[in-house]
Chains A and B, each alone.
Chain A
Amino acid sequence: MIKTTAQKIYVGLIFLFLYAPILTLMMLSFNASRTRAKWGGFSLKWYADLFRNREIMQALWNTLLIAFIASFVAVVIGTVACIAINRMGRRSRAVMMGITNIPMLDAEIVTGISLMLLFISFGLKFGLGTILLSHITFCIPYVVLSVMPRIRQVDASVYEAALDLGAPPLKAFFKVVFPDILPGVLSGYLMAFTISLDDFIITHFTKGAGVDTLSTKIYTEVKKGIKPEMYALSTIIFVTVLLLLFLVNKAPKEKRGKIQTVKTG
């Protein structure tokens, strides 16, 4: 009894640690005073101002656009790569997974500057395009890592049976294999989207002057002081995601027991 209470307190404290900054930011979004140093009373004015702030809205649009496109392209390239890797021999598979892991194990600052050097020597114009290319690059590994375990569980003979019964390869894939790996694809997409949305470091090195995502916009504001509208915006984003997840969890669960191993401990 004492042990479980102690455990609960421990878990509670860690979550307090992880979520305290988030609560702080939410509080600040309702703070009537412009400085974060003192509480000026409850106010919703930053929420109203937010939608009139052109720059923030533009940065939000850029951020979402990049996250949507980058994670989508990454899902396509990553999923196709998983199918290919799954068919390879042991050796080539290890090499491919090694390459996949480079951006995950490498430091973001190194990825950022290396892409910056690449774009400079290609003479590319720094802007949304270069940010997009970089985001796709660091999103691919997350997709591969979440799709790979699923695809390894797919029984190859089912696909071959579909082929034998006369289905063209693409149709056989979408009818037989794809439904099985869909959960992996979706979680890969979600993961890639989240990482893209939250990225600062790589965007910092690959963005052009005048093009901002929310992260880089916040970074330039650090010295001058963050505009409270930013707190309002991030509160809206966070609460929206929370609500969405709550709704998804509330919805009737798909039969999931099939692949999940039963835990007995």
Chain B
Amino acid sequence: MKLNTVKHNKPAGRLLSAPFLLWETLFIIVPLAMVFYYGLTDRSGAFTLENVAAILGAEHAKALWLSVCLSFVSTLICFLLAYPLAMILANMNVNQHSFIVLIFILPMWMNFLLRTLAWQTLLEKNGVINNILEFLHIPPLNIINTPAAIILGMVYNFLPFMVLPIYNSLVKVDPNVINAARDLGANELQTFFKITFPLTIPGVISGVTMVFVPALTTFVISKLLGGSKILLIGNVIEEEFTQAGNWHLGSGLSIVLMIFIIFNMVISAVFDKNGEGNML
């Protein structure tokens, strides 16, 4: 009987996966293949590496380098802010996992562009923050339209993506393991570096990829907080598609971005085999 059902299940399973597979093939795999096709051909359809090599041009290389630097700094800041926060939240014994997730998802119900724009109001010369600083006799903060404002926007937008996976992996750490380490004489710091941190590496890796990729490729945050003078690689690609209309060049530059993304995927696949560091 058992054997029988298993045999019956197999074709049924394949049939059930059909809509999903069809959808994913048509709307994810084929489109990605098209980016490669456009990126590796010119307008006449002939093969060329010119669009990809265009990244080496002074302006594009500068945009990519700036993107890499800003997203690296933002990812680092997110990590430094998120880890202690996740630890505090995990220790709070709020036995309500969904509540924690909710607090971080909730801001998304106010539009992402508006929330980012609100930082303009907060950061302006005579904005809210500077008024508070003046009141406290602290020198004003003039970071609007600078790379610093873009970093702030990135950290603001992507911090939840760092907190949630780390929080999830921290909650899963077996308290018995911690207790055992303490019983065996490890102090708090040793326990942290030898036990807790290594066990949460899948969460950290997942958080890093979830922050680094959107930060590297954003064109909105730089446009809204960078005063449209600072070009990131995302802005360059976006302009090629919506204004310049050179899809081949835009696709070629996207291929360069995808190399970073694939590198990220491989790393997260190696460190997080069981999807332990998932956000949800």
Interface, chain A (partner B; CB < 8 A): 7, 10-11, 14-15, 17-22, 24-25, 28, 36-37, 77-78, 80-81, 83-85, 87-88, 96-103, 105-111, 113-118, 121, 133-134, 136-137, 140, 142, 145-146, 160, 163, 169, 187, 191, 194-195, 197-198, 200-201, 204-205, 214-215, 218-219, 222, 226, 230-231, 234, 237-238, 241-242, 245, 260, 263-265
Task: Report the separation of the CA atoms of residues A21 and B33 in the bound assembly, to the nearest whole angstrom.
Answer: 39
Contacting pair B217 A110 (CB below 8 A): yes
- Knowing A81-B16, A109-B219, A234-B111 touch, does A115 contact B261 (C-beta < 8 A)? no
Q: B residues 1-51 with Cβ under 8 Å of A?
A: 5, 9-10, 12-17, 19-21, 23-24, 27-32, 34-35, 38
- Chain A nearest CB, measured from B225 CB (Å): 11
- Knowing A107-B214, A215-B111 touch, does A117 contact B122 (C-beta < 8 A)? no
Task: Report the separation of the CA atoms of residues A109 and B67 in the bound assembly, to the nearest whole angstrom.
Answer: 14
Contacting pair B213 A198 (CB below 8 A): no
Task: Report the separation of the CA atoms of residues A219 and B117 in the bound assembly, to the nearest whole angstrom.
Answer: 10
Q: Which residues of A contact B95 (CB under 8 A)?
A: 260, 263
Task: Report the separation of the CA atoms of residues A115 and B32 in the bound assembly, to the nearest whole angstrom.
Answer: 8
Q: Give which listed residue, B112, B118, B217, contacts A24 with CB less than 8 A.
A: B118
Whether B243 sits at the interface, judged by CB under 8 Å, is no
- Chain B nearest CB, measured from A109 CB (Å): 5
Chain A residue, CB-CB nearest to B14: A84
Chain B residue, CB-CB nearest to A245: B102
Contacting pair A85 B122 (CB below 8 A): no
Q: Which residues of A contact B27 (CB under 8 A)?
A: 115, 118, 133-134, 136-137
Task: Report the separation of the CA atoms of residues A81 and B217 in the bound assembly, to the nearest whole angstrom.
Answer: 30
Contacting pair B118 A21 (CB below 8 A): yes
Whether B254 sits at the interface, judged by CB under 8 Å, is yes
Interface, chain B (partner A; CB < 8 A): 5, 9-10, 12-17, 19-21, 23-24, 27-32, 34-35, 38, 81, 84-85, 88-89, 91, 93, 95, 97-98, 102-122, 124, 126, 128, 156, 159-160, 171, 173, 175, 178, 209, 213-214, 216-220, 223-224, 234, 237-238, 241-242, 247, 250-251, 254, 257-258, 261, 264-265, 268-269, 275, 278-280
Contacting pair A25 B110 (CB below 8 A): yes
Task: Report the separation of the CA atoms of residues A36 and B122 in the bound assembly, to the nearest whole angstrom.
Answer: 10
Contacting pair B89 A11 (CB below 8 A): yes
Q: Which residues of B contact A110 (CB under 8 A)?
A: 32, 35, 217, 254, 257-258, 261
- Chain A nearest CB, measured from B259 CB (Å): 11
Q: Which residues of A contact B28 (CB under 8 A)?
A: 99, 102-103, 111, 114, 137
Chain B residue, CB-CB nearest to A6: B88
Task: Report the separation of the CA atoms of residues A163 and B247 in the bound assembly, to the nearest whole angstrom.
Answer: 54
